Structure 1
């Protein structure tokens, strides 16, 4: 099996297990081919970003008990969809990210230098 790599080319580090995140709900932002939304970006959620995301139609903060989703709170990490990240970037609202926990597949949507400008863990 191919090693899971982060956007910098190193080993992909976990993003969050509380709340449990990732397309595969394994705590990592690995984005395989079946993940059309490219949920590859490990973000640091702030109240400002969560409010923006909710207004943009991607409500991350409201719990959905039937899906065992507690909602993301400010200060937590979460695997955000790549298209949502790019949209937030284009609108000047992108959150800080943990680049060592961000899967390399995000580079299909945004260049590394731009991604690095949001990194808090370089």
Structure 2
């Protein structure tokens, strides 16, 4: 079951991306629920630097995986990131920009709002 769809600003959660189709539930939004153990709630605008860091850490988001219907991501794509990975990228100086209106409020359990605001593209 999907949790209440509110963003970090306390407003209705806006879509993150339909192309590429993102979200734990692959509905274009960074919705979350009990099944989403990775907390895929941060709507990020990906950068080459972040994609390289993610690949180095074992989560290769840029290489196409046609067997899974995954075309691979590139800089400029919007994607629902795990909140913990976003916080790690922030600490490593490689965090991408975020869309606060499309970032689920559950993110605030892991990433402080003032940190998210540092990377906000929509404020």
TM-score range, shorter chain: over 0.9
* Structure 2 partner of 1:46: 47
Are the counterparts in 2 of residues 63 and 71 from structure 1 also a CA contact under 8 Å? Answer: yes
Superposition deviation, residue 22 in structure 1: 0.3
Unpaired runs of 5+ in structure 1?
Answer: none
Structure 1 stretch displaced more, 49-58 or 15-24? 49-58
Correspondences of 1:1-122 after superposition (within 5 Å):
3-122=4-123
Question: What is the CA RMSD across the aligned residues, in angstroms?
Answer: 1.4
Question: Matched residue of 1:43: which SS?
Answer: strand
Unpaired runs of 5+ in structure 2?
Answer: none
* Over 6 Å off, 4+ runs: none
Q: Distance in 1 between matches of 2:59 and 2:4?
A: 30
Superposition deviation, residue 113 in structure 1: 1.0
Superposition deviation, residue 48 in structure 1: 1.7
- Figure out how many residues of one structure are paired with residues of the other and give that number: 122
TM-score using structure 2 length: 0.93
TM-score using structure 1 length: 0.94
Question: Matched residue of 2:75: which SS?
Answer: coil
